[in-house]
Structure 1
Amino acid sequence: MSRFLPLTIHFVGGGTMVVASIVDAKKALGGRWKSKDVPSFARAARLVDDAVAGICRPAIAFAAFKKAAAEQGLLEPAGPSTALSILDQLWSGDGKGRPK
């Protein structure tokens, strides 16, 4: 099981990739982005490399990667989890937690 919730990245030119680990993030950084010259991309690339080398916490590097992808509009919008959808259905009954 992955350490992070999977992100779907839509690269420039149409390719997609699911990113759920630092290794995946490193691979995705090599894909086609809108701009690899923006500060958020450079920061994400540096932190992902540092995480691979063991000198940065993976969670920090993954968050930087996610931020860079979001800023460039490459992230697929994530819907609610299956568990959250089930809870929403259960609570959408009569307002007192009783199903319809």
Structure 2
Amino acid sequence: MSRFLPLTIHFANGRTMVVSSIADAKIALGRTWKSKDTPAYLKAARLVEDATNGICRPAIAFAAFKKAAAQQGLLEHAGPSAALSMLDGLSSLSGKGSPK
């Protein structure tokens, strides 16, 4: 099981990749981005490398990666999960037919 919730990244060349770990993020950073010169990208690359070397918390590096991907419009916007949709459905039923 992965450490982070999976992110789907759509690279500038049209390819996609699911990223759910620091190792995945490191691979994704090597792929085709719109710009590898932006401050967010450079910070993410540094923090992912630091996390790989054990000198940065993985959660911080993954958050920086997610921010860099979002800023470049590479991050797929996911809808609510199936579990959340089921929970919403159950909670809307709980108010119906109950005694007052």
In the TM superposition, what is the alpha-carbon distance from 1:97 to its structure 2 partner? 5.9
Query: If the length of structure 2 is used for normalisation, what is the TM-score?
Result: 0.92
In the TM superposition, what is the alpha-carbon distance from 1:91 to its structure 2 partner? 2.5
Aligned length, in residue pairs: 97
Show the 5 A alignment for 1:44-55: 44-55=44-55
Contact 1:23 1:52 in 2 (8 A): yes
2:89 is aligned to 89
Show the 5 A alignment for 1:1-100: 1-93=1-93, 96=95
Contact 1:47 1:64 in 2 (8 A): yes
Query: If the length of structure 1 is used for normalisation, what is the TM-score?
Result: 0.92
In the TM superposition, what is the alpha-carbon distance from 1:92 to its structure 2 partner? 2.9
Contact 1:91 1:97 in 2 (8 A): no
Contact 1:2 1:21 in 2 (8 A): yes
In structure 2, how many angstroms separate the alpha carbons of the residues matched to 1:83 and 1:60? 26
In structure 1, how many angstroms separate the alpha carbons of the residues matched to 2:8 and 2:70? 11
CA RMSD of the aligned region, Å? Answer: 1.3
Contact 1:9 1:75 in 2 (8 A): yes
